[in-house]
Amino acid sequence: MPYRLWQGLCSLKLTLILLFALAGVALVGTVVPQNLAPEAYLRIYPQPVWTLLRAMGVHDLYRAWWFLALPGLLGLNLAACTLQRLPGMWRSVMRPRLRPDPAWLLSLVQHAAWSVPAPQETIDFRLAALLRQHFARPRLLRGDGRNWLFAQKNAWARFSVVVTHLAILLILGGALVGKLAGFRTHLEIAEGATVATLSLPGATEPRPLGFALRCDDFAIDYYPGTDRVREYRTLLTVLEDGRELPGLTRIPLLVNHPLRFRGLNFFQSSYDLAAPRLQLQWRGADQQAWQEVPVVAGEPVRLADGHMVMVTSFSDEHRGQGPAAGIVVVDDAGRHGQAIVGTRRAVSTDGADGLQFRLKAAELNYITVLQVTRDPGVPLVWAGCLLLLAGLAACCGLSHQRVWVLLRPVAGGTEIWLGGRAHRQQRQFADRFAMLRQRLQEGLSQVLAEHQEGTGPHDQ
């Protein structure tokens, strides 16, 4: 890859451009309605505008190739930034500078130097113990008449940016997997019916579920004294090879309580009313006995005398008189008669040889409408969210802190050079470094007092 292209891919400027582009495109997707029928768009926009929106894929924005390219390019940008910075982070943690010279220590923002009237062999172990107590466990090195101490803490905080980038890549990858391998559709099941297939958008053939779902019941609860729906729920049973699965019978499905089974999520979405099943009674003008005939709304039925009857409408409450059905009757000559039939009295049809009808019973069946989703990228998204929280917490609350101590013999004692560095939270580290220097000096003062009295560990 050419160097300039690699540098551009690793730049923070590209990251900001992509983030602003995603935000702007998402705003467009919020303003422009998504996935409507073409005639619906023509009612909103003029023909030229709709043609442009369709050509650019704005009507189905989140599936447009150029929109998917934006998070893809953002993922490449984050991966390139991570690869560029990772070697330096690794060297800082795994191969730190262990034998710095005084000039390098003086170049650090946090540094100090002082002398003590004691040989370095007397104080190096004491300094190591003090560093372990007040900072972190040190490494002690000797050579060329000098001693070095090196200690670091929160070294893994260096990689918090890498963890954050990896988290974002997982979230983007999970979203891409869900978009390519997942789906979102609707499933309608009438009360008492069983379904074993699913119709997917754009598919010509239904997709087998691998199991069956039976709608055992559907119920609607209303707010007391009103016709406002408070809640509707479905009782589902999962079947396999015609047998009910233990623990998966009559499962209540509510709006915010989905059924999750074998990677599929079933949400209560809405409902509809199936064609009512009615029991009509009829008799001719010269007949005394009533005859019964079952009728399904919208389906014509032939009576015993040759007339055809069809229920065209139904209401479970008609003008305070209970349930009623609108019927049409046709005789052999093609003459039509119609009437509204209720349960409280018989009604004669007009123009159909004076037939009388009355409604004996009506059975209302609902159709539950479920939203079915499959998103195999969800585990990746959840893992990315958890990693993102960990990475952000480390970025905000932790820093990689390092301390070096150089002991060099001088006339009359030992010269001590102290330096420290943190890769973030400089002000907090400055206070910590000042406190550490004070602790080291106080601890060494006690050693010097013991040495001068002849009771120190060197004299023993």
Domains of the chain as residue ranges with CATH: 3-83 (no CATH), 96-154+399-452 (3.30.530.20), 168-274+368-387 (no CATH), 277-366 (no CATH)
Could you tell me the sign of the dihedral formed by the alpha carbons of 310, 313, 316, 318, in that order?
A: negative
Coil/strand/helix, residue 255: coil
Burial degree of 223 (CB within 10 A; 0-12, 13-18, 19+): exposed
Element (DSSP H or E) covering residue 450: helix 426-452
Sole residue written with tokens 């010509």: 204
The per-residue pLDDT for 298 is: 84
What residue spans of 32-64 are helical by DSSP H?
38-44, 47-56
The per-residue pLDDT for 320 is: 67
Task: Please write the tens of the pLDDT for every residue from 51-84.
Answer: 998 899 888 888 888 888 898 899 899 999 888 8
Give phi and psi for 455, each to the nearest 5.
-115, 5
- Both structure tokens of 92: 């800082």
Measured CA to CA, the distance from residue 119 to residue 408 in angstroms comes to 9
Exposure letters 4-37 (e unless 16+ CB within 10 A, then b): eeeeebbeeebeeebeeeeeebeeebeeeeeeee
pLDDT at residue 351 greater than cutoff 60: no
pLDDT at residue 352 greater than cutoff 70: no
pTM of the entire structure?
Answer: 0.68
Give 319's pLDDT tier (boundaries 50, 70, 90).
confident
Strand partners, 296: 277
Least-confidence region, from 123-132, 285-294, 327-336: 327-336
Measured CA to CA, the distance from residue 172 to residue 384 in angstroms comes to 9
